[in-house]
Amino acid sequence: MQGKIGLEEHFALEETVMDSAGFAPETHWPELRARLLDIHERRLREMDANGMAMMLLSLNAPAVQAIPDTDRACEVARRANDFLAEQVARRPDRFQGLAALPMQDPERAARELERCVQDLGFKGALVNGFSQVGDPHTAVYYDLPRYRPFWATVEALGAPFYLHPRNPLPADARIYDGHPWLLGPTWGFGQETAVHALRLMCSGLFDAYPGLAIILGHMGEGLPYSMWRIDNRNAWIETPPRYPARRRIAEYFRENFYLTTSGNFRTQTLIDAILEVGADRILFSTDWPFENVDHAARWFDSASISERDREKIGRTNAVELFGLAPLLGG
Ligand code: MN
């Protein structure tokens, strides 16, 4: 398929690139590092060779979220966003931006998002899970009441918010002791991000701000497969769930969430996601440079779905969600 658009596609600054070093063996680090720091050379060639019209770019992980000092988190986010805006300005037909946000301070995060959307023309935000705030051992999640004004700004701007994975802190990762291979993309990323997304759904956030659009990668971090059980539980006991939200979790999942194919190139999984949330809420992505564009494209272009769904997932859902039509040639 020609004209595909991807929205979980990462770059790095020299000052954040080492955050990705643990996710490749030493033998592959020089290659991964070069891929992260490149925007206009190798990346564009990969896109051209594999029918990708556009990438929405975002900073690597965990980057800003792992900087406990709020002033420094704000500075790095601002530098990353300014750098990204310059890159997008060189090829706005091929690249658009998702903002990095200093979530350590909800008020400053909201102001940075406003700046990115209104002044820099960014299409939304991508945040790498919880933030460490004040000290490196404190993990703060965005369902907390202090974030409500931030979410009001996100809704008012109409900016989609991509909740991207990071690993849990060591104190919250004891279940993985002795099994480090389960951290990262193997399992830990998905588990961490799925729980964060469920916290948002249970908290009543989407009752207060029904216009929010949250994006999850990796075909929904396992959530589509669990959605029925989360609401049903052991139904014969008939105890209503005790959470602040007014509706069933699956209703928020279907109305406030979008899923991407990033790093999860599996037709069985895609079809399950289509059955749970519908083809209108799934979007193509590769997770470059951690995954290969050709692996994603070759799988997606021949996956056993209808051509109408391929067109939606590959392109038109993103055009609509981010308002990309005026930017895309032909
Ligand atoms: Mn990613």
**pLDDT band at 238; cut points 50, 70, 90:** confident
Strands (E), the chain: 4-11, 52-59, 95-99, 124-127, 131-132, 139-140, 161-163, 214-216, 257-260, 282-283
**Tens of pLDDT, residues 115-149:** 999 999 999 999 999 999 999 999 999 999 999 99
In a domain, 330, yes or no: no
**What separation in Å is there between the alpha carbon of 133 and the centre of ligand 1?**
22
Give dist(CA 276, CA 270) in Å, integer: 10
**Tens of pLDDT, residues 309-325:** 999 999 999 999 999 99
Q: Residue 140 belongs to a domain with what CATH number?
A: 3.20.20.140
In a domain, 329, yes or no: no
**What separation in Å is there between the alpha carbon of 21 and the centre of ligand 1?**
14
Among 19, 105, 143, 287, the active-site one is 287
Give dist(CA 34, CA 250) in Å, integer: 41
Query: What is the total count of domains within the chain?
Result: 1
The candidate with the shortest Cα–Cα distance to 128, out of 68, 188, 64, is: 64
> How many CB atoms are located within 10 Å of the residue 238 CB?
7
In a domain, 63, yes or no: yes
Do 205 and 212 form a contact (C-beta atoms < 8 A)?
yes
Instruction: Taking residues 3-11, report their average pLDDT.
Output: 98
Give the bridge partners for 99, in sequence order. Answer: 125
In a domain, 217, yes or no: yes
pLDDT at 241 over 90: no
Question: Which pTM does this prediction carry?
Answer: 0.98
Query: DSSP string covering 205-258, please?
Result: HHHH-TT--EEESGGGTTHHHHHHHHHHSSGGG-PPP--S-SS-HHHHHHHHEE
**Local structure of residue 145 (DSSP, 8 states):** G
**What separation in Å is there between the alpha carbon of 232 and the centre of ligand 1?**
31
In a domain, 55, yes or no: yes
Q: Is 287 a catalytic residue?
A: yes
pLDDT at 68 over 80: yes
In a domain, 328, yes or no: no
Query: DSSP string covering 305-323, please?
Result: S-HHHHHIIIIIHHHHHHT
Do 94 and 56 form a contact (C-beta atoms < 8 A)?
no
By residue count, the chain amounts to 330
What's the pLDDT score for residue 134?
Answer: 96
Range of the domain at 304: 4-322
Tokens of 242: 């005790």
**Tens of pLDDT, residues 287-312:** 999 999 999 999 999 999 999 999 99
Mean pLDDT value across the chain? 97
**What separation in Å is there between the alpha carbon of 285 and the centre of ligand 1?**
9
pLDDT at 329 over 80: no
What's the pLDDT score for residue 330?
Answer: 54
**What separation in Å is there between the alpha carbon of 225 and the centre of ligand 1?**
20
What's the pLDDT score for residue 117?
Answer: 98
Q: State percent of the chain over pLDDT 70.
A: 100
Sheet holding 52-59, edge to edge: 4-11, 52-59, 95-99, 124-127, 161-163, 214-216, 257-260, 282-283
What's the pLDDT score for residue 235?
Answer: 87
**What separation in Å is there between the alpha carbon of 252 and the centre of ligand 1?**
23
Give dist(CA 124, CA 54) in Å, integer: 15
**Rg (the chain; Cα; Å):** 19
The candidate with the shortest Cα–Cα distance to 166, out of 116, 112, 114, 221, is: 221
Using DSSP bridges, classify how beta strands 139-140 and 131-132 pair: parallel, antiparallel or unpaired. antiparallel
Do 5 and 318 form a contact (C-beta atoms < 8 A)?
yes
Tokens of 20: 């990705």
**What separation in Å is there between the alpha carbon of 290 and the centre of ligand 1?**
7
pLDDT at 83 over 60: yes
> How many CB atoms are located within 10 Å of the residue 72 CB?
13
> How many CB atoms are located within 10 Å of the residue 268 CB?
9
Do 64 and 100 form a contact (C-beta atoms < 8 A)?
yes
**What separation in Å is there between the alpha carbon of 211 and the centre of ligand 1?**
25
What's the pLDDT score for residue 273?
Answer: 98
